Every structure is written in C-alpha cells, then in structure tokens.
Amino acid sequence: MKFFQSVCLATSLLLASPTNAAPIAHKRQNTGAKKRIALWEWTLTRDVPSYPAIQSTATSLGTSTEIAAVMNWEGWQPTEVPVAFEPMARVLDSFGGDAWTQLTGSLATQQQAGVASPPVHFLNEPERQGVSAADAANTWRGSFAPLRAQYGAKLVGPAPASDPAGSAWLQEFMSYLGADEKPDYLGVHFYTAQSTASSDEVAAAQAYIRGQYDAYGIPVVVSEIASTNRDAGEVDSFTRQMAQWLDAQDWVFQYGFFGMSREVTNDFVSPAAQLLDFNGNLTPLGLFYAGFE
C-alpha cells in the first residue's frame, strides 16, 4: 500500500477474536517522556502555503514536551517543523540519485549544526516491497552502515510489518549481520485489527513489541503504530494506553503514532486515528499526542 505517492503503510495481520467495544475507564495522561515522533506526511510541506493551520501546527510542535523528532519517510527535511529531523532510506532506490543526496545532505547539515547521533531509518516494510533479506543486508553493509562513521548517525534497522512474514524476514536479515554491524535501534511497526477491543489490542501490541526486543536485545524504535478500529473510543483508549506504556519502557527509544496528514490515507487507516483535521489543525487525539491536552 502507498502513502499517497511515497509511503508504504504497514498493516497488521495479528488476529484476535472480536469483542464488543468497552468503555474507557479513565484517560491516560502525558508524562513528558519526549519519545514521540511526528509522522509528518510529505504533502503537508507541499500544502503549507494553502493551509495556514499547517504552519501553526508545525510551529507548535517545537514547544511540545512530548515530540522529540519529525519523520516524513524521506531524506529531505520538512523545515516548517522546528524539531529534530530523522531521515529515511525508505526503498532500495533511495540509495542513489537525488534521494541519497538529500539524505546524506540532511545528515551533513545536522553534523555541521552539532546534532549528536541523529537517528536515520532503513527500509520501510521491505518484505512487502519484494526486497530479499540478503539484498537488504548487502545494502546495509555497503551503503547504510558507513553513515555511522561518516556522520555519527544512529542506525534504525528495517521495520517490517507485524505479521509472521515480517518477523521471518527480520530474523533472516539479522542473521546476515556481524556483531559490529547490528542496528543501534530495532525498527518495529504495529497496527491493530479493525474490530477488536482496545484492551485485547493493547495486550497484543505490548507482547509483540516486547517480544521483538527480547529476540534481539536491541533498543526499539516503534516507527509506526496505530489502532485501525473505527470506534473513536477504542482508538483513544489504545493510543493513550500504549503511549503510557511505551513512555515507561526504558528499552523503547522512540515511537510514532500514525499519523499527521490532512486526509485519511486509504481504507485501512481509521478516520478516528487522524492526528490532524482537513485544515491541518491538531485533532483532540493529536492534541494528546503532541502533549497539549
């Protein structure tokens, strides 16, 4: 699936038996852990001149006690958002031409500005792009891993989908890497089923994310997570409970709830999970996520 013309969006195949939606017992509040990534869809940058609220929202993120960074699945920086930028080499084609020049240029700019150890992300759901684990490991070794020495970057490993195929792909990829070639952070995605109660999905998400950490012993970046439930209460409950839990895990470096865009990306994404409205203002859920509730 594509995020408009640029982003491969994860889907979760983890199954759970459907139950009736449960009421939210109480709301989880923010903690100021500052682990959250603003997943800033690239068309927001394009649309800043046409929708003034986008710039207002972007500026406000610079004052957030929760937002640590912005990511747009690209190598170029959305300069309207005044927080640390984390570039991504999203596909194998990102390792050449303008895309690679943009990514290395972004890292060079951060290095010159004195930014210490900027994270950079490697491949978005590569198993769904048809990229073999062997080819990914060769690209990692030949092009991506050298960014450590060249720019002092911290490397976020490939983030496969949270299904058996994704887990098997990651296991194979990691088997090709020597001890000194491992990622600094393990890339993880998680999306819920559409009709399962948030209590069940919270348990499933925590078990999956913890399981990935236990399997590799590497700190985790959950670069995409969201509820796809259509019930706003269930989405709110899942988001708050998971944010509180992720904030409390010292082995979770960062996480990003999907996502910040003016429009729902496709039929998989729940409208109730939108962090921005059509004009670019933060939704109530977005206000929570940004720490402004």
pLDDT of residue 20 exceeding 80: no
127 Cβ partners below 8 Å, 6+ apart?
133, 160, 161, 165, 166, 169
What is the tens place of the pLDDT at every residue in 114-153? 998 999 999 999 999 999 999 999 999 999 999 999 999 9
Q: What's the CA dihedral at 241, 193, 275, 267 to 10 degrees?
A: -170
Burial level of 267, CB count in 10 A (0-12/13-18/19+)? Answer: exposed
**pLDDT value of residue 3:** 39
Alpha carbons 289 and 28: distance in angstroms, whole number: 11
* CA max distance for the chain: 54
d(CA 212, CA 286): 27
- The answer, yes or no, to whether residue 13 has pLDDT greater than 70, is no
d(CA 188, CA 269) in angstroms, rounded, equals 18
Predicted pLDDT of residue 56:
99
- Residue 28's pLDDT is 55
Share of the chain above pLDDT 70, in %: 90
Kindly report the average pLDDT of the chain as a whole number: 91
Question: Which range is most confident: 2-11, 110-119, 210-219?
Answer: 210-219
pLDDT of residue 19: 33
| pLDDT bucket at 266, cuts 50 / 70 / 90 | confident
**Segment 11-22 mean pLDDT:** 36
Q: Over 70: is that where the pLDDT of 2 sits?
A: no
> If you average pLDDT over residues 231-246, what whole number do you get?
97
Higher pLDDT, 16 or 172: 172
pLDDT of 247 over the 70 cut: yes
Q: Is the pLDDT of residue 203 over 90?
A: yes
Per-residue pLDDT band for 29 (boundaries 50, 70, 90) equals low
Domains and CATH numbers, the chain: 36-290 (3.20.20.80)
The per-residue pLDDT for 30 is 73
Q: Inform me whether the pLDDT recorded for 60 exceeds 70.
A: yes
Find the angle CA(125)-CA(126)-CA(129) to the nearest 5 degrees: 105
* Residue that wins the pLDDT comparison between 163 and 2: 163
* pLDDT tier at 267, thresholds 50, 70, 90: confident
